[in-house]
Amino acid sequence: MPLADVPSLSFLGATGTVTGSRYLIEAGKRRILVDCGLFQGFKQLRLRNWNPFPVSPETISDVLLTHAHLDHSGYLPGLVKHGFRGVIHATASTLELCELLLPDSGHLQEEEARYARRKAYSKHREPLPLYTVEDAAAALDRFEPVPFEEAIHLGDDISARFVPAGHLLGAASVRLTIAGRTIHFSGDLGRAKDLIVREAAPFAGADILVVESTYGNRSHPDSDPEAEMAEVINRVIGRGGTILVPAFAVGRIQGVMLLISRLKANGTIPDVPVYLNTPMGVNATAIYSRHHSEHRISRAECRAMFELAIRVRSVEESIALNKNTEPKIIISASGMLSGGRILHHVINFGQDARNAIVLSGFQAGGTRGAALAEGARNLRIFGEDRPIRAEVIQLEGLSGHADADELLDWMGGARPPRMTYVTHGEPDAADALRFRIEHELGWDVRVPEHLERIDIGNPR
């Protein structure tokens, strides 16, 4: 893909899917990438991670990272591995969280390649990781932290600002100005009443808006997540079961732990042991504790959340936990059951109908979590079909994403952009939000195609 003669925006990911967030700005002699995420879910999407990057990574000058989740940050080690030598700009909290997430992702890539080699379930004679822990460390060396609302001057009359987006500690929308024209990338927007993180800053208008649509076709239930969680815990523990909570180590685990600590404090649930079986989740919770100014809970509640669980640090302790038959709650990454220690717990506890698997966030199509939510009673794990007899429960009230109504409210107070592009959603969600923007706000809007390039001066 050659450099554009006029300033352009290309959609390299997050089109037709809720993963793989990647947007390329070309202006003058600059190539700027907004997000560099992993494709997840369906195999045909995951295979895109192995394709050559659409432009030579060494020609990219800067990356602007909205937040730390892997569908936005997870290909950065691959980008550096293949030649990127520019600067990765992110908020300080996002950098700290990436220091956990990216090496862990590299470790899981290496571990899965070794396991596939040992068990011979890969189609490749010599399965290789997408990238390694060493590649992740090289990517982290390219980060430069930037405060919210501070101008970043990128050359060629281009500047950017990070604007609070809610959703996650450190999460930002990216507001780019190119020769007087403004492009606003929403990133992932949080809920107005998120349990922990403060709400997103209002949308101030722009010439072009790129908005996420994860929940673009639905509204979150008007329910009390504490009451939902209490009912599940009391029911499952009451029958002697174990509750597995697969959750994103950054963001969702902290919300789950906050709810359980509140329920224990007021005596709504029994004092059962809670195990946090993800070293990354432990460390992420400590980061949340350090950045108290970015969230809305008191220091006392933050401390209670941090002290709630028994930490499971070693592989040996994790294996021993599978032999524990007492009623308990196990919280472990990953949120869509894509890898990690939670898979071994699902193999072990998923076969017993007394137990429960509680899904606590969005489940992208093609993931094991999505299969469970849709009623699957077998999961393909480590090359084998594993029976699932445990109860499966999905708690919608814990989502960290704004729903369709909240997205419309966030947009509605601003002047109409010249064009709005709806991305980062499954096809039905993106199209549903497109329809509402067009008919309720009266804005020019459409859903872009994968790899489509548009003229920033004349968006269509």
Tens-place pLDDT, residues 35-75: 999 998 888 999 999 999 999 999 999 999 999 999 999 99
pLDDT digits (tens, 9 = 90+) for 362-404: 787 788 988 998 999 999 988 889 999 999 998 877 778 899 9
Give me the pLDDT at residue 113, please: 81
At residue 7, the pLDDT reads 94
pLDDT of residue 89: 98
How many C-beta atoms lie closer than 10 Å to residue 44's C-beta? 10
* Whole-number pLDDT of residue 119: 63
Under DSSP, the state recorded for 415 is: P
Which of 382, 389, 383, 317 lies closest to 344, judged by CA? 382
Segment 92-134, tens digit of pLDDT: 999 999 999 999 899 888 988 887 676 665 565 677 899 999 9
pLDDT of residue 21: 98
Report whether pLDDT(335) > 90: no
Confidence tier at 225 by pLDDT (50, 70, 90): confident
Residue 164 has pLDDT above 70, yes or no: yes
pLDDT tens, position by position, 308-319:
889 898 889 999
State residue 3's pLDDT score.
Answer: 53
For 340-353, how does the pLDDT look when each residue is reduced to its tens digit (9 = 90+)?
889 999 999 999 99
Nearest Cα to 358, choosing from 440, 284, 255, 222? 255
> What pLDDT is stored for residue 255 in this prediction?
85
Q: pLDDT value at position 175?
A: 98
Angle at 272 between CA 269 and CA 278, to 5 degrees: 115
Three-class secondary structure of residue 327 per DSSP: coil
Q: What is the per-residue pLDDT for 272?
A: 94
What confidence tens digit (pLDDT) does each residue in 231-255 have?
999 999 999 999 999 887 777 888 8
Nearest alpha carbon to residue 396 among 363, 364, 365: 363
Q: What is the mean pLDDT of residues 203-224?
A: 93
CATH architecture of 8-218+401-455: 4-Layer Sandwich (3.60)
In whole angstroms, what is the distance from residue 91 CA to residue 169 CA?
9
Whole-structure pTM value: 0.86
- pLDDT at position 327 over 80: yes
The domain segmentation of the chain, as residue ranges, is 8-218+401-455, 225-398
pLDDT at 65: 98
Overall average pLDDT of the 137-155 stretch: 97
Structure tokens that stand for 229 in this block: 């969680």
Q: Are 235 and 241 in contact (CB under 8 A)?
A: no
CATH architecture of 225-398: 3-Layer(aba) Sandwich (3.40)
User: Which whole number is the average pLDDT over 206-214?
Assistant: 97
188: pLDDT strictly greater than 70: yes
Describe the crossing of helices 279-290 and 299-307 by its angle, rounded to 10 degrees: 170
Which residues sit opposite 403 in a β-bridge?
215
